[in-house]
Amino acid sequence: MGAASAVAQPAAPKSTSPTAPAAAPAVQPVSTEPSSTTASFADWVLRCQRVSDAAKASRICEVAQILQSQGQQAPIAQIAIGRAAAGEPLRVTAVMPVSVTFPSAVQITIGEKDAKPLELGWRRCIPSGCFADAPLGDDIVKQWRKAAEAGRIVFRDAAGRDLALPLSVRGLDQAIEALAKERL
């Protein structure tokens, strides 16, 4: 009966240190604000994320469009418009496939009458994509917000061919308007 009763009895918890009680993990207070939000405006999405550092909490917001090939689930590219912090100018960032040629640049045109495309310089490549960006002046923002015709993103692939991806302007005006209203 001695062996059977030892199996049926729960074992007493073992202490790893006889002098120090186990410390309970600190519980961080949960904010009443969501950590991230999204809002859709036709083909554009406004995304905001709460970030905090030792000094204060803030929000980073951007409007973005994911470009996909018909019949594929994985995105080919992404374009985003936003600012890193309140008071900074808007920037446009493109995340392109890793199969690109250097030196080259990403060019964005909106509408057929856009005589001077916006050129984005390459910044870095990581396994998931290559990043290019440029400041977005007020004149370009106004032009893009008024556009009725679709645009395109042109880049040079690893084989040296110029490839063009369609860029929708449906909802861009409303998304940029909502971005301007976000408190950062």
What is the DSSP secondary-structure string of 53-83? -SS-EEEEEEEEEEEE-TT-SSEEEEEEEE-
Domain membership of residue 23 (yes or no) is no
pLDDT in tens, 62-86: 999 999 878 888 899 999 999 988 8
Does residue 58 belong to any structural domain of this protein?
yes
* 123-149 confidence digits (pLDDT tens): 999 999 999 999 999 999 999 999 999
Please give the pLDDT value at position 150.
95
pLDDT interval class at 11 (50, 70, 90): very low
pLDDT for 71 equals 81
pTM recorded for the entire structure: 0.80
Q: Would residue 73 be called left, alpha or beta, if left means φ above 0 and alpha means ψ between -120 and 50 degrees?
A: alpha
In a domain, 162, yes or no: yes
Is residue 114 pLDDT above 80, yes or no?
no
Mean of pLDDT over the chain: 86
Q: How many domains does the chain have?
A: 1
Residue 90 inside a domain? The answer is yes
Q: Can you give the pLDDT at residue 7?
A: 40
Q: Identify whether 153 is part of a domain.
A: yes
Supply 67's token pair. Answer: 């470009």
Q: Is the pLDDT of residue 32 over 50?
A: yes
CATH code assigned at 64: 2.60.40.1880
Domain residues for the domain of 38 are 31-181
164 CA to centre of own chain: 22
Amino acid 21: pLDDT:
57
Residue 109: per-residue pLDDT: 95
Q: Is the pLDDT of residue 15 over 70?
A: no
- The answer as to whether 20 is a domain residue is no
The answer to whether position 49 is within a domain reads yes
Mean pLDDT over residues 91-100, rounded?
A: 96
Query: Residue 4 above 80 pLDDT?
Result: no
Give domain status of residue 157, yes or no: yes
